[in-house]
Amino acid sequence: MAGRIDRDGPAAATGHPRASHRTAGSSWSGRRPRAARVIFLAGAGERGNAGALRGWATMCVGVGQDAPGWRPGAGPSASVTRKQEQNMSRFTGKVAVVTGAAQGIGAAIAARLAEEGAAVAVVDLTAERAQATVDAITAKGGLARAYGCDVAVKPEVEAVFERVAAELNGLHILVNNAGITRDNLFFKMSAEDWSSVLTVNLTSAFNCSQAAQKVMVAQRYGKIVSLSSRSALGNRGQANYAAAKAGIQGLTATLAIELGPYNINVNAVAPGYIATPMTAATAERVGSSAEEHQKAAAERTPLRRVGTPEEVASVVAFLASEDASYVSGQTIYINGGAR
């Protein structure tokens, strides 16, 4: 069954693919899975590698989720050895997809989920862009695979999610992170900039969540976390972005109602100023250096500093974990106390 990584193979596999496999349009790497949870990062995978990935997923299952009736989130089986147990963490056995994970916040989220045992599908516009994140994860012994996909284009999203579910044999966590800005004062904002920001930041979450829920509903388990923004409350020059990020909050609250009966938690995070290539580009656009721009933002923030991608990733990981099992429909602001 799609989404259940414990059904298709022997309980204990004897090996796993150590080498990196790369083909046009997709690539994946795996070194030393530390536990049995599989995280699905969007963007990687050729059919030709499906067998190797399935073998890897099966091997991961063998580490700790071999008990009959195990389901994602149910915890390790009794057959887990002490050493294996020590290596397990919150996402052992989970597959996660993180969109827009080639850099910035998405890359930090992918790294955090992988660090805690997930197998991550790293999705970005091209698999080549996503590969650096995959390499960083695998260098630390984690598992990840790069996938190329424009999340604003529904047929591309449907195709890549089908590939991920087939190749990793599951999908448990979706992080809707991909986003862009096209800032301008409202009276000067072009219809194109309005539309592209709404499509990439909001319609993409519709596309990916709809594709993911097919697997999640069937398996009665899922975690969806989407990136909103403090700008949802209103921000000069960001009518398009604010509308999209407020839309994420409405979508989140509604999906929590509709998908909750299927044991799917749906939440959002709303970061304030986080130092990433996105904010560096904003600084450049307004004629400032990244450092000056950050300093000004820090002065407006009660904690007197800007945030880091890792500080967003830790909250996303919390919401994607069983630590937040009774949290759904919420938007958590990560903004150093700023308003």
Ligand X SMILES: NC(=O)c1ccc[n+]([C@@H]2O[C@H](COP(=O)([O-])OP(=O)(O)OC[C@H]3O[C@@H](n4cnc5c(N)ncnc54)[C@H](O)[C@@H]3O)[C@@H](O)[C@H]2O)c1
Nearer to ligand X, 21 or 129 (CB): 129
Q: Does residue 241 carry a catalytic annotation?
A: yes
Contacts 24+ apart (CB under 8 A), 282-288: 282/181, 282/183, 285/183
Give yes or no for a contact between 230 and 307, defined as CB atoms under 8 angstroms apart: no
**11, 13, 125, 159: which one binds ligand X (CB under 6 A):** 125
Name the CA radius of gyration of the chain, rounded.
19
List 5, 60, 61, 105, residue binding ligand X (CB under 6 A)? 105
The closest alpha carbon to 182, from 116, 242, 137, 94, belongs to 242
Taking CB under 6 A as the rule, does residue 179 contact ligand X?
yes
**CB of 236 vs ligand X, minimal distance in Å:** 15
Q: Considering beta carbons, is residue 213 or 276 the nearer one to ligand X?
A: 276
Asked if 91 and 117 touch (Cβ cutoff 8 Å), the reply is yes
**Interface pick for ligand X out of 29, 49, 99, 267 (rule CB under 6 A):** 99
Question: Whole-number minimum distance, CB 228 to ligand X, in Å?
Answer: 7
**Given the rule CB under 6 A, which of 18-26, 66-74, 124-132, 256-264 is the region that contacts ligand X?**
124-132
* CA dihedral sign, ordered 251, 257, 263, 268: positive
241, 262, 273, 326: the catalytic one is 241
Which of 194, 189, 212, 166 is CA-nearest to residue 44?
166
- If one asks whether residue 9 binds ligand X (CB under 6 A), the answer comes out as no
Asked if 57 contacts 170 with a C-beta cutoff of 8 angstroms, the reply is yes
Task: Indicate whether 333 belongs to the interface with ligand X (CB under 6 A).
Answer: no
The type of residue at 187 is F
Bridge-partner residues for 333, per DSSP? 270
Minimum distance from CB of 141 to ligand X (Å)?
A: 24
Nearer to ligand X, 103 or 288 (CB): 103
How many residues at the interface with ligand X, by CB under 6 A? Answer: 28
Q: Any idea of the CA torsion for 276, 281, 282, 284, to the nearest 10 degrees?
A: 130
Does the protein bind ligand X through residue 175 (CB under 6 A)? Answer: no
Is 278 a binder of ligand X (CB under 6 A)?
Answer: yes
What lies within 8 Å, CB to CB, of 213 at 6+ separation is: 222, 224, 255, 259, 262, 264
Only one of the segments 6-14, 30-38, 123-131, 256-264 lies at the binding site for ligand X (rule: CB under 6 A); that segment is 123-131
Measured from the CB atom, the residue of 35 and 313 that comes closer to ligand X is 313
CB of 78 to ligand X, least distance (A): 40
Q: Do residues 148 and 157 lie in contact, with contact meaning Cβ atoms separated by under 8 Å? A: no
Q: Phi, psi at residue 226, to the nearest 5°? A: -120, 150
Closer of 69 and 155 to ligand X (Cβ): 155
178 binding ligand X? (CB under 6 A): yes
Among positions 225-254, residues that touch ligand X (CB under 6 A) are 227, 229
Of 54-62, 104-112, 113-121, 214-222, which part binds ligand X (CB under 6 A)?
104-112
Q: Report the alpha-carbon distance of residue 165 to residue 41 in Å, rounded.
A: 11
Residue 142 lies near ligand X (rule: CB under 6 A): no
Q: Which is nearer to ligand X, 65 or 238 (CB)?
A: 238
Rounded-to-integer distance, Cα 14 and Cα 27, Å: 23
102 binds ligand X (CB under 6 A): yes
Task: Tokens for 112, please give them.
Answer: 């955090």
Task: Give the binding site for ligand X (CB under 6 A).
Answer: 99-100, 102-106, 124-125, 129, 150-152, 177-180, 200-201, 227, 229, 271, 273-274, 276-279
For the annotated catalytic residues, the residue numbers are: 241
